[in-house]
Chain A
Amino acid sequence: MKWTSGDVATYEKERDYIDTALVPLLPVAVGQGARRLASGGELVGLVATEVERQLRGRVFLLPPFVYFVDEQRDELLERLANWTNRLRQEGMEHVFYVTCDRTWQEGTEASRFWLVPTVPLESMDESYKHELVREQAAELLRFFVNRWTKR
């Protein structure tokens, strides 16, 4: 499911089947490091969309959680914990994040964060880019399936 009127209508009908939320975490900067973050964000978007396409019946891809890269960490953590709790209350049994920001992996719940590799997308061949996205999506898919069968 995507965050579109059509998909949300389906979601409302089939709530019982959709128990997994996927939230992209997008760090933003306009000055230094902007290009690297944009490239990371682009890859996050591509991978998330591809996974959503393959698992759309169970995964709800939410709009991204956006923040400035130099925002206060503890405030950010609190805000994200808030999102997670709300999603849980709404019946999302699994909440996962996909991001290009390495710092999220330092937290306690690192296993719920999926990190895409840092690559300079702008200097990458189109076919190689596709290969990379497909590979990443396949890995993320396996990660989801593992988590679902675990419980």
Chain B
Amino acid sequence: MSDNKHRVTRRQFLNYTLTGVGGFMAAGMLMPMLRFAFDPILRETAGTDMVAVADVKEITTEPKRFDFKVKVKDAWYESEEPRSAWVYKDEKGDIIALSPVCKHLGCTVDWNTDKNNPNHFFCPCHYGLYTKDGTNVPGTPPTAPLDRYEFEVKDGKLYLGKAKPRGEA
């Protein structure tokens, strides 16, 4: 009767269990491999690291300081670090975004704060001077021009990327 209909032979039973267990084991091994193989595709696109900093219409021919934040990973500690940029338009109307980090020892330079040298970037630490386009004034401590940010204008907004030594950006 029903006994006969549902009879499972020893051989069948062993086959089923072995394929079942073997299948699980194979899957257990293959899944991580597949995950590793596809990982580069699944990873979030590293958003090109550009940060929106200002509206383009805010930018004038006078350097203006804009503060923004970038995500920084320092060993195992991820944090947001404040950054600033001096942004202005030159005579041709091109946007220039200078890093405020002095090339001497890394202080933050300020625009037009030294009374003896108006319209220069001035470093309060060791009195380093840079002209408006970021060129270091000879005879002051800095030995290189200020870094320039890579930038991009999208939908009327200015996006800044990495600061690079002049000539590379």
Chain A positions near chain B (C-beta within 8 angstroms): 10, 14, 17-18, 50, 53-59, 141, 144-145, 148
Contact = CB atoms under 8 A, between A and B. Distances in A.
A53 B107 CA distance: 7
A17 B108 contact: no
B71 to A, nearest CB: 16
B125 interface: yes
B124 A55 contact: yes
A55 B107 contact: yes
A58 B128 CA distance: 12
Interface in B90-127: 102, 104-108, 123-126
A125 B116 CA distance: 40
Nearest to A14: B105
4 tightest CB-CB pairs across the interface, nearest first?
A57-B105, A58-B125, A54-B108, A57-B107
The majority secondary structure among interface residues of chain B is loop
Contacts of B104: 17, 57
A128 B106 CA distance: 27
A58 B124 CA distance: 9
Contacts, number: 37
A94 B85 CA distance: 29
* Range for the number of chain B residues in contact with chain A: 10 to 19
Contacts of B108: 53-55
A58 B82 contact: no
Nearest to B103: A57
Contacts of A10: 105
29 contacts: A10-B105, A17-B104, A17-B105, A17-B125, A17-B141, A18-B105, A50-B82, A53-B82, A53-B108, A54-B108, A55-B107, A55-B108, A55-B125, A56-B106, A56-B107, A57-B102, A57-B104, A57-B106, A57-B107, A57-B123, A57-B125, A57-B126, A58-B105, A58-B126, A59-B125, A141-B124, A144-B124, A145-B124, A148-B124
Contacts of A54: 107-108
Contact of B105 (A50, A56, A144): A56
Given A55-B107, A55-B108, A56-B105, 13 more contacts: A17-B126, A17-B141, A53-B82, A55-B125, A56-B106, A56-B107, A57-B106, A57-B107, A57-B126, A58-B105, A58-B126, A59-B125, A141-B124
A17 B123 CA distance: 13
Contacts of B124: 55, 141, 144-145, 148
Contacts of A14: 105
A10 B123 CA distance: 18
Residue of A18, A58, A59 contacting most chain B CB atoms (<10 Å) = A58
Nearest to A130: B82
Contacts of B102: 57
B92 to A, nearest CB: 31
Contacts of B107: 54-58
B151 to A, nearest CB: 22
